A and B are shown apart, each in its own frame.
Chain A
Amino acid sequence: MNSENIDFLTDDDVDYKSLSEDVLKELALCDELFIATSALVELRLRKSASSAIIAWKILSKTLGDKYLQATAISVLFDMNQEQAVNFMLKQTQYCDPYILNTIMELMIENETYFKSEPASSIVGIVKERLQKLDNSTKLPESEARDRFLHIYRYVGKNYTSIV
């Protein structure tokens, strides 16, 4: 099947494992965002170098929605950490809270990496954002906030909870 015929289907109906890398690359940039997300993940699972290229394209051109972009950040971090960290350094201050939540999850999972330079600079930016956010906001999730603040309590600027 080619990518032209796949968006007839729903995400659940597509057998991504059976698709060629070229088809997956097209699908990861298509308008059907459920399919685009799954295609990008399949490229990442194959450890394809093109997954980082597509992920960067999605992030640099703000393609799709926040959910596809969140997947793109994780994929880029797995495949090209330097580029992902540069993106985070520039965007963490302004990004959608959903993307911020994804960045925080990556930072929690990869503590050692984010406690070293240059990635550790992101810690302070996240703390500043958290400080500005109302505690009642849904995102970042409270569990992610608590774990992040516990792990990075001695890194970057101190965070005071707003009550």
Chain B
Amino acid sequence: MLREKYKQASIKLVKERETTYHVEVKINPEGYTPSKELGAELIEHIAENGKRILCVKKGSVKVPVDKINIYCMGKVPMYPKEELQQLQRLKQSERKKFDAEPQNEERLVFIRDRLKHNWERSQEMFETIKQIGWGDSVEVVDRIIAHLLSVGEGVTVETRFRHSSELEAPLGGLKVQSTWKILPDGTKYLSTINFIPIERGG
């Protein structure tokens, strides 16, 4: 149940005495925890479908951790490349056999058009981060989240859609395009994010 509730939870049975054990649970063990400097807290936002979304919250701004830590950092799981190649070859060379089993087409569409393209988008987002001199680290996620917390503070109903901001890094800058939801209690919630590299002249 804990593993269902939290995407990343390590559960360890720790022996205290001969017949006594206790369960040690670490929530989000390899995931992101905001640094103290951020002055923010890790909270759960409960979505309408009951999903618990891990967010960094500061004041009235909430940034969902996975949108940054997974999607922007190239951690969308790799698609099954070999299976896709097999299906594509079967479709090309043994069409009758391929068509005889409708699941083949469904699986091909699912892998080729959904898993592959979403994985490649995530990879490109991370490439953009690498191009400006950053890597996959808690510090980088911290920097991006800190930027978004600051952006979120200033967004209004009028500026919440495709809000443009700039993030500076060692080797250049990133244009960050973010869209925010403003909840009835005034909370500003990051709903989408996209990166566009800034080309510097000279």
A162 adjacent to chain B (CB < 8 Å): no
Q: By the criterion CB–CB under 8 Å, are B117 and A7 in contact?
A: no
Give the dominant DSSP class at B's interface.
helix
Q: Mark B49-74, 1 if CB is under 8 A from A, else 0.
A: 10101000000000010110011000
Bound form: Cα–Cα A43–B101 in Å? 20
A contact residues around B47 at 8 Å (CB): 5, 8-9, 13
When C-beta atoms are compared, the residue in chain B nearest to A72 turns out to be: B113
Q: By the criterion CB–CB under 8 Å, are B53 and A9 in contact?
A: yes
Binds B, one of A34-42, A84-92, A117-125, A126-134: A34-42
Bound form: Cα–Cα A74–B66 in Å? 28
Bound form: Cα–Cα A141–B51 in Å? 38
Q: By the criterion CB–CB under 8 Å, are B51 and A13 in contact?
A: yes
Q: By the criterion CB–CB under 8 Å, are B118 and A108 in contact?
A: no
B26 adjacent to chain A (CB < 8 Å): no
Query: Which of B45, B91, B121, B189 is close to A34, meaning CB atoms less than 8 Å apart?
Result: B121
Q: By the criterion CB–CB under 8 Å, are A10 and B109 in contact?
A: no
> Given that A8-B189, A109-B88 are known contacts, is A74 also in contact with B162, CB under 8 Å in the complex?
no
B contact residues around A68 at 8 Å (CB): 117
B110 adjacent to chain A (CB < 8 Å): yes
B contact residues around A34 at 8 Å (CB): 71, 76, 118, 121-122
Q: By the criterion CB–CB under 8 Å, are A45 and B106 in contact?
A: yes
A contact residues around B117 at 8 Å (CB): 37, 67-68, 70-71
Query: Which of B49, B66, B91, B114 is close to A37, meaning CB atoms less than 8 Å apart?
Result: B114
A contact residues around B114 at 8 Å (CB): 37-38, 41, 71
Q: By the criterion CB–CB under 8 Å, are A105 and B88 in contact?
A: yes
Chain B contacts to A: CB under 8 angstroms: 45, 47-49, 51, 53, 64, 66-67, 70-71, 76, 88, 91-92, 95, 106, 109-110, 112-114, 117-118, 120-122, 124, 162, 179, 181, 189, 191-192, 194
